[in-house]
Chain A
Amino acid sequence: MIDSIRGQSLLTLEGLSARALVEILDTAETFVEVQSRTVKKVPALKGRVVASLFFEESTRTRLSFETAAKRLSADVLSLAVASSSVKKGESLRDTITTIDALGIDAVVMRHQSSGAALQVSRYVPHVRVVNAGDGQHQHPTQGLLDVFTVRQILAERHDTTGQESGAELFEGLHVLIVGDVRHSRVARSDIQAYTALGAQVKIAAPGTLLPVDMQEWPVTLADDFSEALEWADVVGLLRLQHERGSGSFVPSLAEFTATYGLTMERARRLRSETIIMHPGPMNRGVEIDSKVADLPSAVIARQVTNGVPVRMAALYLSVAGLKEDGAA
């Protein structure tokens, strides 16, 4: 298990211990306060260069990361490479070595292919790579901001702070993840974050949207979606990526909504304190009813807000941790 990401690339949440996760969450909490200042900047990464390299466009994630880097006073190189590297005839290695030649300390990378961030970290081992989503593999900062948001809300309820609570509020917490787990990098990161912190995770999805082999996954399958909703302290919905063909894994979007959508009727089964989450962008009316998305217990906007301090923490620990630890 890895106990700290200081000075390390952040490619996956697989293998991170509760201690490593809590360190990131605690660091993020110190950055929350920065957002409420008039001058929303700390000099932590002053003089450092962070490149944001999005092979697959995602305005929200890119903005969140770039805002995070700027609040840490890093210089940001924003590179538009959304068109496929293959179409341009350039290999992943050539793309990253070219950008590295500009002189960078870190790269925030989004790619449509699973594993691309890990590959890039091998090509430029001296550069810290922060994975902003790779194919259907991992989306570490989304997993982190999800557990951060849950901890923040639970701490408020218990009249404590996240930092004081560490990981203890996750002990035995019931988390239900619903929908297209098979194609979801968010689900893979979420499951690893929640279970490492001590939560119990259940999955509810039609068989075709489950990964082919989940035997090693630290989760259980919900036999009955309605009962699972009553069981849940947290419901994490996933986007049905019908633009990538996930729609063909179910007979129709309407049937998916009828069987696994969080409709108003189903939302009424939730306990009042159950937290509803969605990584966005939502398909309103598909995996989540529009009215449910606007319930007070739906914390989707808060997830987005928390994205910035969590990404500041990831960048800070990954990049600034470098010299303090004397790591090469």
Chain B
Amino acid sequence: MSSLVIRNGMIAGATSLEMGDVLVVDGTIVETGEISSVPSGVAVVDAEGCWVGPGFVDLHTHLREPGREEAETIESGARAGAIGGFTALVAMPNTEPALDSVALVSYVLERGARTVLDIAVAGAITVGRAGERLAPMGELAALGVRLFTDDGTGVQDPSLMRRALTYAAPLGVRLAQHCEDESLASNGTMNEGAISSRLGLIGRPALAEELMVMRDIELVRLTGGALHFLHLSTARSLALVHEAQRQGLRVTFEVAPHHFTLDESACEGFDPIFKVHPPLRSAADVLALREALRSGMVDAVATDHAPHAPELKDLAFDEAPAGMLGLEHAASLTLEALGGGSDVALRFFELLSRGPARIAQLRKSDAHPRHSSHGGSLVAGEDANIVVFDPRARWHVDADGLQSRARNTPYHGRELLGRVRATVAKGQLIVNEGLLI
């Protein structure tokens, strides 16, 4: 294989940020610190002024393959991830058909292995995500599946969710829930409140999310299971999960960049680009999420990258599908929320890499052999999944310039702070100078 050296960066180790170089040989980090003798013929990545840390891990990517390849493929999604600094993605199972069998999960894993990134798979909790009977979680766990979710919707039936938690517990896997009670949220297209009332749009109340969070916390208490809450979007949801964590329950949660950067007022113009489930919430919720990010009270940032073909976002607001792109700007938005500056670097890598790698079981200690390890400390002996991130670069989001097949970014034209300069995934330099190689 190849060798490369990352020069003069600020290396984000487990506990500190220090100037230095990183030497990668044959897919493994062999030396970090000040490296005086670099073998000749080694590729050099200039990391002057940049943070060098573990590659980002996305717990929540909709790769759309199989079934919706016009919106995204495993390959195009991996490229979008690479540009965004990700070295591993967890593919969500709400494809067509849903990822609920050995054949379908194997298909995505095999396709994923041919891309530039590590593609892990989240399996469906129920067959066809129909919420009626359990998918073969044991068989899928044997393939290396570590997360199960019916994302797109939550498991509505509390009895079935209880059974799923009980069944999953001894398998060493974690369930992940899209929390929205459909009887409260169904037909709703934006956050319920003053704005939805004025616009004549049916609301999806915060309570639809919070009620399922409450229910699932109690089911975790009852079963002793492990549960990850996907894209929590309200202050109350976070408070509920924090309290459960204090009580020692095995619950984790993620927040998505759109929920901590955009509020419900974005829907004023009826542009379906801002339609997402759970919906963009109140300004107060956005502030609460940002405060939680800054104070270290969030386990992971996850994108909920949801590509849709352009024509579907040209439908009327209530007819258009929900979801927005995330991979290519998640890191910048996270940095912006943290407030910039080098003192946030370790928190930044915790949120985007180490936290999610822990939840997805992609670390050196627990990664399935089919994947390399992520979320490391940048020390010798680790697999080389590294991002070089320039926290001072400014750039403009251009929907037509994205690697994703889709264009449904809500940030088109917006100036963002912080940009990926280089990505090393599975030992290979795949992005340099902000461009795919």
Q: Is the CB of B200 within 8 A of A212?
A: no
Q: Given A115-B270, A135-B200, A188-B200, do A213 and B194 touch, yes or no (CB 8 Å)?
A: yes
Q: Is the CB of B316 within 8 A of A115?
A: yes
- Cβ–Cβ < 8 Å partners of B317 in chain A: 113-116, 119
Q: Given A91-B311, A91-B314, A93-B314, do A119 and B199 touch, yes or no (CB 8 Å)?
A: no
Taking a contact as CB atoms closer than 8 A, the residue among B193, B202, B311 that contacts A213 in the complex is: B193
Taking a contact as CB atoms closer than 8 A, the residue among A14, A94, A114, A134 that contacts B314 in the complex is: A94
- Cβ–Cβ < 8 Å partners of B193 in chain A: 212-213
- Cβ–Cβ < 8 Å partners of B200 in chain A: 114, 134-138, 185, 188
The CA of A213 and the CA of B202, in the complex, are separated in Å by: 12
B16 near A: Cβ within 8 Å? no
Q: Is the CB of B194 within 8 A of A115?
A: no
B262 near A: Cβ within 8 Å? no
Q: Is the CB of B192 within 8 A of A212?
A: yes
B334 near A: Cβ within 8 Å? no
- Cβ–Cβ < 8 Å partners of B297 in chain A: none
Q: Which of A244-295 contact B (CB under 8 A)?
A: none
Question: Interface size on A (CB < 8 Å)?
Answer: 31
Q: Is the CB of A119 within 8 A of B316?
A: yes
A111 near B: Cβ within 8 Å? yes
Size range of the interface on B? 20 to 34
Q: Is the CB of A86 within 8 A of B315?
A: yes
The CA of A130 and the CA of B315, in the complex, are separated in Å by: 19
Q: Is the CB of A92 within 8 A of B314?
A: yes
Q: Given A113-B317, A188-B198, A188-B200, do A118 and B270 touch, yes or no (CB 8 Å)?
A: yes
Chain B residues touching A, majority SS: loop
B196 near A: Cβ within 8 Å? yes
B319 near A: Cβ within 8 Å? yes
B197 near A: Cβ within 8 Å? yes
Q: Is the CB of A212 within 8 A of B315?
A: no
Q: Which of B395-426 contact A (CB under 8 A)?
A: none
- Cβ–Cβ < 8 Å partners of B314 in chain A: 91-94, 123
The CA of A123 and the CA of B269, in the complex, are separated in Å by: 13
Q: Is the CB of A111 within 8 A of B194?
A: no
B201 near A: Cβ within 8 Å? yes
Shortest distance in angstroms between B312's beta carbon and chain A's nearest beta carbon? 7
Q: Which of A84-139 contact B (CB under 8 A)?
A: 85-86, 91-94, 111-116, 118-119, 122-123, 134-138
The CA of A188 and the CA of B315, in the complex, are separated in Å by: 23
Shortest distance in angstroms between B315's beta carbon and chain A's nearest beta carbon? 5
- Cβ–Cβ < 8 Å partners of A91 in chain B: 311-312, 314-315
Q: Is the CB of A113 within 8 A of B197?
A: no
Q: Which of B292-332 contact A (CB under 8 A)?
A: 311-312, 314-319
The CA of A119 and the CA of B317, in the complex, are separated in Å by: 9
B81 near A: Cβ within 8 Å? no
Q: Is the CB of B197 within 8 A of A85?
A: no
* Max chain B Cβ within 10 angstroms of own Cβ: one of A114, A185, A214: A114
The CA of A112 and the CA of B311, in the complex, are separated in Å by: 19
New A-B pairs, 16, CB < 8 Å, besides A115-B269, A215-B194: A91-B312, A113-B317, A114-B199, A115-B201, A115-B317, A116-B317, A122-B269, A122-B271, A135-B316, A138-B200, A211-B197, A211-B198, A212-B205, A213-B197, A216-B194, A216-B198
Residues of chain A touching chain B, judged by Cβ–Cβ distance below 8 Å, are: 14, 85-86, 91-94, 111-116, 118-119, 122-123, 134-138, 185, 188, 211-217
A-B complex: 5 closest residue pairs judged by Cβ atoms:
A115-B270, A113-B316, A136-B200, A137-B200, A91-B314
